[in-house]
Amino acid sequence: MVATYSRPTPVFTKGMGVHLYDLESRKYIDFTAGIAVMALGHSDAEFLRILNDQSRTLIHTSNLYHNPWTGSLSKLLVDKTRESGGMHEASRAFICNSGSEANEAALKFARKVGKIVGAQKNNQNKYEMVSFNNSFHGRTMGSLSATPNPKYQAPFSPLVPGFSHGNLNDLKALDLITENTCGVIIEPIQGEGGIHIATSEFLTALRKKCKEVGAVLIYDEIQCGMGRTGKLWAHSYLPKEAHPDILTTAKALGNGFPIGATIVTEEISSKIVLGDHGTTFGGNPFASRLGHYVLGRLSEPALLSHVNEVSKVFRKRLEQLQKRWPDVVGEIRGKGLILGVQLDRDPTPLVKAARERGLLVITAGKNTLRLVPALVIEEEVVEEGLSILEDAMEAWLAEEAKA
């Protein structure tokens, strides 16, 4: 394999619910869910039944032809989005294969709209994009250009021109949005960057500024969407005045099977014509049927209520860690089951110590522990996992004290 990943030693061969098993059949509690992907847990029975049935029926035809599931998934995405209190003008969806592709489509759509609006105003420079520091939007050249992290960008420069970057929740960033801006892309909750929440006031002001200059507002909910906050979308908590023109999703939509989607308003859709964008695999009947099932499950009120209840258990236990080690454990950020624990030092040794004790956790941003378990996780497993985390912290800090 190309050496693009640094992996620890366990080799996972089986998953069941919120647990993973390695080659030696050792059991791990999974607080990572494949980086917020396995929202229904590993080996969900109905998911596997549908997967098996559709694999025997029809996997792929290409987008040259209709199939029963691409349109059904698109309609369900629009309907459930509106029902959730999110993106009240959601109208159509483009189905693709990944989060980066969903964002790539969103950026292209914004550029296309910018050219049309710019031409109407005799402005040939309406192609600029604005994103935010500590964001992560993907690895393809367009989405990478919207991800202002030198570690990711430097090896591949020069990137797509026209991108500028502001600070989250800083109203001065609105000054970057001008008549030349065609689009603004933002995560309502930054995942990779450290679990930072965009405030309602900031997103409302951002929406207003985009409307003033005719820029497309894109919400990237690839990690924070699909029920992870206790509502279908992180922005479902916001007033209509803060809703986006484009919404992107992926990760949990396929519960482990690659799929993404870009949801747009009718105003955006009307400017996208035949041949403007495409995909070979995106929206095939196999992926779309799986996504249809997963979306149905993740939008169930009982599951969303469960997310909020389990989140309280996480926060209570994390606050206990905070009280026990106030100099080490700082702010606890996030909402629902996308949580970040700010530490005063590099948590890599803690991740290792937890893994050795049977708990899988990951990091985000600067010195932040990221907790994004399956949304179906039960309270007793949360308690068990956090007890392991506490033991790991105790051992980690004792080892550091010796050094």
Tell me what pLDDT residue 403 has: 74
Residue whose pair of structure tokens reads 């294969």 in the numeric block:
97
Where residue 402 falls among pLDDT bands split at 50, 70, 90? Answer: confident
Alpha-carbon torsion angle 244, 247, 252, 254, nearest 10: 150
Helix axis angle, 70-83 to 285-298, nearest 10°? 20
The pLDDT tens digits of the residues spanning 157-211 come to: 999 999 999 999 999 999 999 999 999 999 999 999 999 999 999 999 999 999 9
The residue whose two tokens read 């008549």 is 179
Alpha helices by DSSP H, listed for 214-333, are 266-269, 285-298, 301-324
User: pLDDT, tens digit, for every residue of 329-355?
Assistant: 999 999 999 999 999 999 999 999 999
CA dist list (Å): 93 to 23, 77, 80, 249, 268:
40, 7, 12, 10, 11
Percent of the chain with pLDDT over 90: 98
CA angle 367-224-385, nearest 5°? 60
The arithmetic mean of pLDDT across residues 21-29, rounded, is 97
Sign of the Cα torsion 298, 303, 304, 309 reads negative
Q: Residue 62 has which token pair?
A: 């290409």
Q: Which domains does the chain have, with CATH numbers?
A: 12-30+302-401 (3.90.1150.10), 49-299 (3.40.640.10)
323: pLDDT confidence band, cut at 50, 70 and 90? very high
Residue pair 328/345 in contact by the 8 Å Cβ criterion? yes
The first and second tokens of residue 112, run together, are 């296309």
Six token digits for residue 70? 């691409």
